[in-house]
């Protein structure tokens, strides 16, 4: 496969950009290839700098639930750019988007928009520490909450627990240390160790233990928010977290994220309360406009059923092939998100062993056939409403062929 221009551009980029990229996963390290250099995209297709075409299952890491360049989103974003891309002031659309979010997610009473998911999570942590006057935050292995100092695994004040381990969780909260916990932050259906379902009772236990220890429960729904349905993972599981972090989909492909939650806690942010928050680009008007245009589609009663149907059109044949082939691999799915894991027949945490070399071979095999999936063994495929049946079927065939023949 020749990617001459892409390689040249990548070499050039390496002269001035660290590692030739602006975000770690874009480096394609896990798949032993030089990274794709994007040139353009439309609907469910991505074009690289050599004008090669790929069916895109990354979709800007899940931000593009309507696919690339949806005409309504483009019109809204362009219109807003003309009217004023950024004001550094409260903008009339902010109230509309925040009230739609509040209507969709019952645990959210107040919102503060940020620019990235990282900032939303970072602000949630600062808020929890200030409210409770406690130092520690419980996080789970394999979860990801952005690259803020306070949430990187070795940060001071982070207490790392295994995900899906109910007895360790209960034992921890029975110990004296529980009284030092300001908050528990969790991806309710993690996607950053590949898609993993919480075991029965795990999220409920988090809710109970945070109530008992008077700490806050923070759901990081940067990926799952407006992806699984209007009310996110918390709606599916019927859990009422104190704070929720949102991102990706709410900005329709533009940099917009949000922290939302109970008014009692959210009102502790400045200017009402003492917990400082600010941002030149926070609540960016173009992101708000694109978000509103996206939400207009999400509110249609058949949007999510149709999206999930599309996902099943791809995943059902893969599941059937996996069952027949009886190979050490599995597909785990929640709505339009899924991961095909190689090397394990069930993945419940980040310790389940995976075959990274086989994943790299799989990724490369799909890429030469014009199919682009997220380039790490532990990430999620994102189905968008723009995926055509024809492209889903082509992809299913390519994946099933690999399963039958390659290992
Ligand atoms: N939380 C989760 C669950 C995420 O997956 C991500 C990024 N993929 C973030 C937070 C950070 O968001 P951002 O990249 O917008 O800073």
Full DSSP string of 20-71: G-SSGGGG-GGGTSPPP-EEEEEBTEEEETT--EEEESSHHHHT-TT-BT-H
What 3-state class would DSSP assign to 380? Answer: coil
Residues 6+ apart with CB under 8 A from 224: 187, 188, 189, 191, 232, 233, 334, 337
Tell me if 373 sits within 8 A of 58, measured CB to CB: yes
CA distances in angstroms from 78 to 75, 115, 293, 369, listed in the order given: 5, 19, 12, 34
The order of strands in the sheet holding 329-334 is 329-334, 337-342, 381-382
d(CA 27, CA 31): 9
Residues 6+ apart with CB under 8 A from 95: none
Which atom of ligand 1 lies closest to the CA of 116?
Answer: 15
Quote the ligand 1 centre to 222 CA distance (angstroms): 6
Atom 5 in ligand 1: which residue has the minimum CA distance? Answer: 223
Low-confidence ranges of the chain (pLDDT < 70): 1
Question: Is the CB of 257 within 6 Å of ligand 1?
Answer: yes
Give 34's Cβ-side CA count (13 Å radius): 19
Residues 6+ apart with CB under 8 A from 407: 327, 329, 342, 358
Atom 13 in ligand 1: which residue has the minimum CA distance? Answer: 117
Atom 7 in ligand 1: which residue has the minimum CA distance? Answer: 146
d(CA 138, CA 184): 5
Quote the ligand 1 centre to 146 CA distance (angstroms): 5
Which atom of ligand 1 lies closest to the CA of 143?
Answer: 3
- The pLDDT score that the predictor gives to residue 153 is 83
Question: Is the CB of 222 within 6 Å of ligand 1?
Answer: yes
Give 16's Cβ-side CA count (13 Å radius): 3
Quote the ligand 1 centre to 157 CA distance (angstroms): 20
- The pLDDT score that the predictor gives to residue 202 is 98
Q: Pull the structure tokens for residue 187.
A: 């991806």
pTM of this prediction exceeds 0.85: yes
Quote the ligand 1 centre to 256 CA distance (angstroms): 11
Question: Is the CB of 144 within 6 Å of ligand 1?
Answer: yes
Count the neighbouring beta carbons within 10 Å of the beta carbon of residue 392: 21
d(CA 191, CA 197): 9
Q: Quick check: is 248 catalytic?
A: yes
Tell me if 286 sits within 8 A of 81, measured CB to CB: yes
Which residue in the block uniquely carries the two structure tokens 């065939």?
Answer: 397
Quote the ligand 1 centre to 144 CA distance (angstroms): 7
Question: Is the CB of 242 within 6 Å of ligand 1?
Answer: no
d(CA 279, CA 116): 11
The order of strands in the sheet holding 158-161 is 110-114, 257-261, 243-246, 216-220, 181-186, 136-140, 158-161
Quote the ligand 1 centre to 104 CA distance (angstroms): 21
- The pLDDT score that the predictor gives to residue 41 is 98
Best residue for ligand 1 mutational test, from 22, 61, 142, 144 (most atoms within 8 Å of Cβ): 144
Question: Is the CB of 375 within 6 Å of ligand 1?
Answer: no
Q: Strands 337-342 and 381-382, how do they pair?
A: antiparallel
CA dihedral 190, 195, 197, 202 (to 10 degrees): -20
């Amino acid at each position: 496969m020749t990617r001459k221009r892409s390689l040249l551009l990548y070499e050039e980029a390496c002269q001035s950009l660290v590692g030739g990229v602006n975000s770690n996963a874009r480096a394609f390290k896990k798949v032993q290839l030089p990274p794709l250099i994007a040139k353009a995209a439309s609907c469910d297709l991505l074009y690289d700098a050599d004008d090669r075409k790929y069916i895109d299952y990354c979709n800007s890491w899940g931000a593009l639930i309507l696919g690339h360049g949806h005409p309504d989103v483009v019109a809204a974003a362009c219109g807003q750019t003309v009217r004023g891309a950024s004001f550094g002031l409260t903008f009339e659309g902010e109230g509309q988007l925040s009230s739609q979010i509040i209507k969709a997610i019952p645990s959210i009473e107040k919102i503060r928009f940020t620019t990235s998911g990282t900032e939303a999570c970072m602000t949630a942590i600062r808020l929890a520490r200030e409210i409770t006057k406690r130092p520690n935050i419980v996080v789970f292995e394999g979860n990801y909450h952005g690259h803020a100092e306070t949430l990187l695994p070795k940060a001071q004040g982070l207490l790392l627990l295994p995900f899906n381990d109910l007895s360790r969780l209960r034992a921890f909260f029975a110990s004296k240390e529980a009284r030092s916990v300001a908050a528990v932050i969790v991806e309710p259906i993690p996607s950053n160790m590949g898609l993993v379902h919480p075991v029965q009772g795990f999220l409920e236990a988090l809710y109970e233990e945070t109530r008992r220890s008077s700490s806050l429960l923070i759901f990081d729904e940067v990926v799952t928010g407006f992806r699984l349905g209007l009310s996110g993972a918390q709606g599916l599981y019927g859990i009422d977290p104190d704070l929720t972090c949102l991102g990706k989909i709410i900005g329709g492909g533009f940099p917009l994220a949000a922290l939302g939650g109970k008014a009692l806690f959210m009102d502790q942010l400045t200017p009402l309360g003492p917990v400082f928050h600010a941002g030149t680009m926070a609540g960016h008007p173009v992101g708000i406009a694109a978000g509103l245009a996206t939400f207009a589609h999400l509110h249609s009663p058949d949007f999510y059923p149709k999206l999930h149907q599309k996902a099943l059109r791809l995943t059902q044949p893969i599941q059937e092939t996996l069952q027949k082939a009886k190979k050490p691999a599995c597909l785990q799915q929640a709505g339009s998100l899924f991961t095909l894991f190689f090397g394990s027949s069930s993945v419940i945490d980040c310790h389940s062993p995976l075959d990274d070399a086989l994943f790299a071979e799989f990724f490369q095999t799909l890429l030469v056939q014009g199919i682009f999936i997220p380039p790490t063994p532990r990430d999620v495929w994102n189905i968008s409403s723009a995926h055509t049946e024809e492209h889903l079927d082509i992809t299913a065939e390519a994946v099933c062929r690999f399963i039958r023949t390659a290992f």
